[in-house]
């Protein structure tokens, strides 16, 4: 081959891994700034009780956002995470409270419903080739309706299901509510899925260039279904955690959570175009949202101004993050 080909070879010393870590550190930096600001602004903010409150407030939306990250990595979108979560809550209620199945079975059942929702989304997107927005919008409505139908529009209470409330409310690690622990474990699983398994790799490839991925011999349709199913499992998990925290399944809840989850994903640096995704970013994005809300409340900012403040801070945080990344890249 031509001799001079690689003479200009590797001059860049920072490895790719480090660069990415650096980026996430910066998004994390945004979170830290917000944290520091509120700590100074309010003496109550840094209390462990309050931090725990923030973490708890992050947990459910955060878990949903993990699944949504996978779907968004493919360039898709999942509008069904909110009401889908509710349907999983309700079905968990049916399994445990109404049918009296054993705890483990009920919880796995809730997850399975999540997977089923994902399966239907996946089939609609991959085989019927519906735009993900349409497929999951339809699922959002169907799940909302079914939650109400199945529950008879009444909450299902878990008061008689021994141990269910402990699932999210207990503290396996003293001081840390299980809901938060579950969130962190789920985040690690999602992170590994995204960066180390075929599911995650193909999600990113599809998001990057679906046609090229297909021509490269990847069974894009099958993998899309797999990706949506995995995302559905997170929806199911969110549903179970939600139900456990409220010790009841609330069929009317759920609408609007999808936007929050997607916002967390995007604030975290995952691109809605697909191909680029980071789970750590999503976790940080979810924390930023929850911290902002909490901090403004702690400061007793009137509700209507809170919205304005959150909006502006989101713009600033994302813009600052982009600036830094732009400089660094």
Partner 1 sequence: SSGSGGAAPGTGDKPYVALVSKGFQHQFWQAVKQGADDAAAELDVEVTFEGPETETEVEKQLTMLQTALDKSPDAIGYAALDSEASIPMMTDAQSRGIPVIAFDSGVDSDVPVTTVSTDNLAASAEAAKHMAELVGSGKIAIVGHDQTSQTGQQRVEGFTQYIAENAPDIEIVDTQYAAGDQLKSADAAKAIMQAHPDLKGIYGTNEGSAIGVVKAVQESGRAGELTVIGFDSGKAQTDAIRDGLMAGAITQDPIKMGYETVKAAVAAIDGEEVEPVIDSGFYWYDETNIDDEEIAAVLYE
Partner 2 sequence: MTDGPALLRATGISKSFPGVRALDDVHLDLRPGEVLALVGENGAGKSTLLKLLSGIYRPDAGTMELDGAPMSPAGPRQANELGISVIHQEFHLMPDLTVAQNIFIGREPRRAGLIRDDELERRAAALFERLGIPLDPRQPVSHLSVAGQQMVEIAKALSFDARVLIMDEPTAALTETEVATLFRIVRDFVSPRTGVIYVSHRMEEIKEISDRITVLRDGRYVDTLPTATTETREVIAAMVGRQLETGVRPGPPDPGASDGGSGRDGSGHDTVLAVRGLSTRALLKDVSFELRRGEILGFAGLMGAGRTEVARAIIGADRSTGVVEVNGRPVTVRSPADAVRHGIGYLSEDRKRYGLLLDQDVVRNVMLSSLPGLTRGGFVRDADGRHVAKEMVDRLSIRTPSVAQRTKNLSGGNQQKVVLAKWLVRDCDVLIVDEPTRGIDVGAKDEIYTLLTALAAQGKSIIVISSELPEVLRLADRIVVMCEGRVTGTLANADADQHQIMELATRFGADRSLVTTGDPE
Residue 176: is it exposed, middle or buried by C-beta count within 10 angstroms (0-12/13-18/19+)? middle
Single out the segment in contact with partner 2 by CB under 8 A; choices: 62-70, 189-197, 255-263, 307-315: 189-197
Nearest partner of 308 among 293, 298, 322, 319, judged by Cα:
293
Residue 326: is it exposed, middle or buried by C-beta count within 10 angstroms (0-12/13-18/19+)? exposed
In the structure encoding, which two tokens stand for residue 307, read together?
């919205």
Structural Rg of the chain based on CA atoms: 21
1 contact, one of partner 2, partner 1, a second copy, none, CB 5-8 Å limit per kind: partner 2
Measuring CA to CA, how many Å separate 283 from each of 174, 235, 248, 287? 22, 15, 26, 6
Largest CA distance in the chain: 77
> Cα(197)–Cα(59) distance, rounded to whole angstroms?
24
Please tell me what DSSP assigns to residue 248.
E
> Cα(239)–Cα(237) distance, rounded to whole angstroms?
5
Q: Is 154 in the site for partner 2 (CB under 8 A)?
A: no
Size of site (CB under 8 A) for partner 2 = 41
Least distance from C-beta 147 to a second copy, angstroms?
Answer: 8
Least distance from C-beta 295 to partner 1, angstroms?
Answer: 8
Q: Is 250 in the site for partner 1 (CB under 8 A)?
A: yes
> Cα(121)–Cα(259) distance, rounded to whole angstroms?
17
Q: Please, what is the Cα angle at 66 between 64 and 70, to 5 degrees?
A: 115
> Cα(171)–Cα(221) distance, rounded to whole angstroms?
41
Question: Which residue among 304, 326, 327, 329 contacts partner 1 (CB under 8 A)?
Answer: 304
Sign, CA dihedral 101-103-107-108, equals negative
Q: Is 302 in the site for partner 1 (CB under 8 A)?
A: yes
Question: Which residue among 20, 159, 197, 216 contacts partner 1 (CB under 8 A)?
Answer: 159
> Cα(276)–Cα(203) distance, rounded to whole angstroms?
10
310 contact, one of a second copy, partner 1, partner 2, none, CB 5-8 Å limit per kind: a second copy
Single out the segment in contact with a second copy by CB under 8 A; choices: 39-47, 100-108, 127-135, 226-234: 127-135
E strands along 245-295, which residues?
A: 248-249
Q: Is 41 in the site for a second copy (CB under 8 A)?
A: no
Question: Which residue among 49, 104, 128, 329 contacts partner 2 (CB under 8 A)?
Answer: 329
Q: Is 202 in the site for partner 2 (CB under 8 A)?
A: yes
Q: Is 315 in the site for a second copy (CB under 8 A)?
A: yes
Least distance from C-beta 141 to partner 1, angstroms?
Answer: 12
Question: Which residue among 129, 160, 174, 300 contacts a second copy (CB under 8 A)?
Answer: 129
Q: Is 44 in the site for a second copy (CB under 8 A)?
A: no
Single out the segment in contact with partner 2 by CB under 8 A; choices: 107-115, 137-145, 201-209, 258-266: 201-209
Alpha helix stretches (DSSP H) within 42-80: 48-73
Nearer to partner 1 by Cβ, of 41 and 218: the residue is 41
Contact set with partner 2 (CB under 8 A): 1-12, 15-17, 192, 196-198, 201-202, 204-205, 207-209, 211-222, 275-276, 329
Contact set with partner 1 (CB under 8 A): 41-45, 47, 49-50, 53, 56-57, 60, 148, 153-155, 157, 159, 165, 169, 177, 242, 245-248, 250-256, 290, 293-294, 297-304
């Amino acid at each position: 081959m031509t001799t001079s080909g690689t003479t200009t070879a590797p001059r860049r010393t920072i490895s790719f891994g480090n660069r990415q870590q650096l980026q996430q550190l910066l998004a994390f930096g945004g979170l830290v700034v917000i944290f520091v600001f509120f700590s100074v602004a309010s003496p109550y903010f840094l209390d462990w009780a309050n931090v725990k409150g923030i973490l708890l407030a992050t947990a459910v939306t955060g878990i949903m956002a993990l699944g949504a990250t996978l779907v968004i990595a493919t360039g898709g979108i999942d509008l069904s995470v909110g009401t889908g979560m509710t349907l999983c809550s309700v079905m968990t209620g049916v399994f445990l409270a109404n049918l009296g199945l054993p705890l483990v079975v009920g919880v796995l059942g809730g997850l399975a419903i999540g997977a089923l929702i994902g399966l239907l989304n996946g089939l609609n997107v991959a085989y019927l080739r519906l735009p993900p927005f349409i497929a999951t919008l339809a699922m959002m409505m169907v799940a909302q309706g079914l939650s109400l139908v199945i529950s008879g529009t009444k909450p299902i209470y878990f008061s008689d299901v021994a141990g269910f409330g402990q699932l999210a409310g207990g503290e396996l690690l003293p001081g840390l509510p299980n809901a938060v622990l579950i969130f962190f474990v789920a985040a690690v699983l999602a992170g590994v899925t995204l960066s180390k398994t075929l599911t995650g790799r193909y999600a990113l490839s599809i998001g990057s260039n679906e046609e090229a991925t297909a021509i490269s011999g990847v069974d894009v349709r099958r993998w899309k279904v797999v990706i949506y199913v995995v995302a559905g499992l997170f929806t199911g998990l969110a549903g179970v955690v939600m139900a456990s925290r409220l010790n009841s399944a609330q069929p009317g809840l759920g609408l609007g959570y999808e936007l929050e989850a997607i916002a967390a994903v995007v604030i975290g640096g995952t691109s809605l175009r697909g191909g680029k995704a980071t789970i750590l970013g999503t976790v940080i994005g979810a924390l930023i949202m929850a911290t902002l809300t909490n901090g403004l409340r702690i400061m007793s900012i009137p509700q209507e101004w809170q919205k304005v403040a959150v909006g502006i801070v989101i713009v600033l945080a994302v813009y600052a993050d982009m600036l830094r990344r732009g400089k660094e890249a």
